[in-house]
Amino acid sequence: MSILVNSQSRVLVQGITGKEGSFHTQQMIEYGTQVVGGVSPGKGGKIYLDVPIFNTVEKAVAETGANVSIIFVPAPFAADAIIESAASGIDLIVCITERIPVQDMIKVKAFLKNTKTRLIGPNCPGLITPEEAKVGIMPGFIHKKGTIGIASRSGTLSYEVVYQLTELGLGQSTGVGIGGDPILGSSMKEIVELFMYDDNTEAIVVVGEIGGNTENEMADFVKEHPLKPVFAFISGVTAPKGRTMGHAGAIIGGKDDTAQAKKNYLKSCGINIIDSPADIGKTVYNFLKK
């Protein structure tokens, strides 16, 4: 089992003919993902990367049965792309696009409340179920099928975690990059909850950072549902107050937003805290093998 995507997922790429969309679509296809169509207004009826192109998501869904969409549309048009996809009945939307205006995401969140659609992102690397489906921009070759679930706000740090785990023989059930923006489609708590009830996930690794309260909300859930071991690394220990660090959402707004405050809270909820990113893999390995 896995969460959110698997070998049966039928993926639609919005923005497939753009530079980023084209490159990563090819990578996803080579990984084995079922990319069944692309959306590029004005180019409907063409074949690109051996994939049929449609003018609208609605038509693409009707003709391909797509249930997952990944978005590479530029920021000014990304919110409309998300809404179009959700209105067309897509179950899971993965938005890679960065720098979507906050006011646009407020509209998106309000629209999604009345749909069945789950959004991952924006400003995220996507997600991967190793050896089944890659719906994102992560390097697929470092992943290995296994039982460790990963939920991360940082793309590059999640790759480091995966590499360490794979080198130690610990594969992953699914890896999810939730994104680094202030307003996200799915919270850390929501993804950890899916892992907690996934039969094939043995342990969960969380990569958090300064800013926001998504880690603390997740910790509250873990405290109430301690079904599996959860490990966490929180980046930004030396980040100065008031300065954005990398992600738009990674900014300390108060004393509870600091890395140390989050580490203390997560630890009080029964989560295993790892202080150095270099120790993540071996900490998980030693815990599970003891």
pLDDT tens per residue, range 11-69: 999 999 999 999 999 999 999 999 999 999 999 999 999 999 999 999 999 999 999 99
124 touches 179 (CB < 8 A) = yes
pLDDT digits (tens, 9 = 90+) for 126-153: 999 999 999 999 999 999 999 999 999 9
Q: 165 and 262: one domain?
A: yes
Q: Among the three residues 90, 120, 150, which one is the final residue of a domain in this structure? A: 120
Residue ranges of the chain with pLDDT lower than 70? Answer: 1, 238-257
Separation of alpha carbons 201 and 194, rounded Å? 10
CB within 8 Å of 103: residues ≥ 6 apart: none
Model confidence, pTM: 0.93
Cα 162 to chain centroid distance, Å, stands at 14
Task: State whether 63 and 180 are in the same domain.
Answer: no
What phi and psi values does residue 174 have, to the nearest 5 degrees?
Answer: -150, 145
Phi, psi of 37 (to 5 degrees): -175, 165
Q: Extract the tokens encoding 12.
A: 């639609």
Place of tokens 């794979």: 166
| Residue of 24, 143, 225, 247 marked catalytic | 247
Q: Are 143 and 252 within one domain?
A: yes
> Range of 155's domain?
138-289
Domain-embedded: residue 130: no
Do 151 and 208 have their domain in common? yes
pLDDT of residue 240: 62
Same domain, 106 and 154: no
> Does any domain span residue 125?
no
247 is catalytic: yes
φ/ψ of 7, rounded to 5, equals: -65, -15
Total domain count, the chain:
2
Residues 89 and 227 occupy one common structural domain? no
State the DSSP code for 136. Answer: E
**Sheet of 10-14, strand order:** 47-48, 51-54, 34-39, 10-14, 68-71, 92-95, 118-120
Same domain (yes/no): 147, 283 = yes
Q: Could you say which of 71, 92, 120 is where a domain stops?
A: 120
Distance CA 261, CA 237 (A): 10
Q: Say if residue 240 is in the same domain as residue 161.
A: yes
Containing H/E element for 152?
A: strand 145-152
Give the Cα separation of 70 and 286 in Å (integer). Answer: 36
The answer to the question of residue 126 being in a domain is no
Judgement on whether residues 23 and 143 belong to the same structural domain of the protein: no
199 and 152 in contact (C-beta within 8 Å)?
A: no
Distance CA 143, CA 162 (A): 6
User: Tokens 């599996």 correspond to what residue?
Assistant: 228
114 exposure class (CB count in 10 Å sphere: 0-12, 13-18, 19+)? exposed
| CATH of residue 159 | 3.40.50.261
In a domain, 128, yes or no: no
